[in-house]
Structure 1
Amino acid sequence: MNRRAEAERRGRRAETLAAWWLRLKGWSILGRRVRARRGEIDLVARRGRTLAFIEVKQRASDEAAAIALDAYRLRRVAAAADELAPRFARPGDDVRIDAIYFVPGRLPRHLANIWMG
């Protein structure tokens, strides 16, 4: 399997794990790999009045995870979330962008509201 295909496989696995992690925390998964003109959202999830557009990253180390979602990628996620919000949001919802990081040997790290644009 080539490197690109292997990375794709690992990414899908991390998204599946993130979806299960969120379900265990009381979230409902509304969409996976939701496409918009301006990008793609890994997971769309809801818990109560909170709607979260979630970017999932799996990296080999804490250092690699810390730089996995740079300003450019975050702007693309925010643009896609802005485009998709009308499809998923309800009146009065708190809409935010989250990230979930996976590093071997650690529990998933869920960072809430990472975009303040």
Structure 2
Amino acid sequence: MSKPSDHTKSSPSQSAKVRAQKRGRWAEALTALVLRLSGHRILARNFKTQVGEIDVIAKRGSVLCFIEVKARADAAQAAAAIGARQRQRIQRAAELYLCQNPAFQTCDVRFDVALVTGPLHLTLVRDAWRPG
């Protein structure tokens, strides 16, 4: 039986990155589930553009929500992970989404943050910021 070559082994930093990506995917799936259970319709997940990315786009009634999901050890770390530049990128991506989906242009727009601090612990911060 042959040994795997050295180039197939992952470094500690790669495995940490993979774990963080898995944690992020889990947090986004949990957020989408919680939103669906609270009456939201999930319109998109991982909406990527050249100007930015939006983790979850959901609609409930006449409110269109652009949700950034952060998974960290505690809520303070998660909230601190969303800086002004990231908010601007999300806002630009939201503008592009609205241009591509004119049916939603009459909706009220809200920017929310989902703070995931455990396997099943999610805090949804509604109207976390306003464009400006």
How high is the TM-score relative to the length of structure 1?
0.89
Deviations 1:11-62 (CA, angstroms, capped at 9, x unpaired): 0110000000001110010111011120111001000111111100111012
| Residue-pair matches, total | 117
Matched, 1:112 2:126: yes
Moved over 3 A (4+): none
Q: Could you tell me which of 48, 54, 59 is aligned with 1:41?
A: 54
The answer as to whether partners of 1:78 and 1:115 remain within 8 angstroms in 2 is: no
Give the SS at the match of 2:85.
helix
Please give the alpha-carbon distance, in whole angstroms, between the structure 2 residues aligned to 1:40 and 1:80: 6
Unaligned runs of 5+ in 2: 1-13
Which of the two has higher C-alpha Rg?
A: 2
1:105 Cα shift?
Answer: 7.4
Structure 1 28/63 Cα, relative in aligned 2: closer, same or farther at 3 Å? same
- Higher relative contact order, structure no. (Cα contacts within 8 Å, ≥ 6 residues apart): 1
Unaligned runs of 5+ in 1: none
Give the SS at the match of 2:106.
coil
Identity %: 37
How high is the TM-score relative to the length of structure 2?
0.80
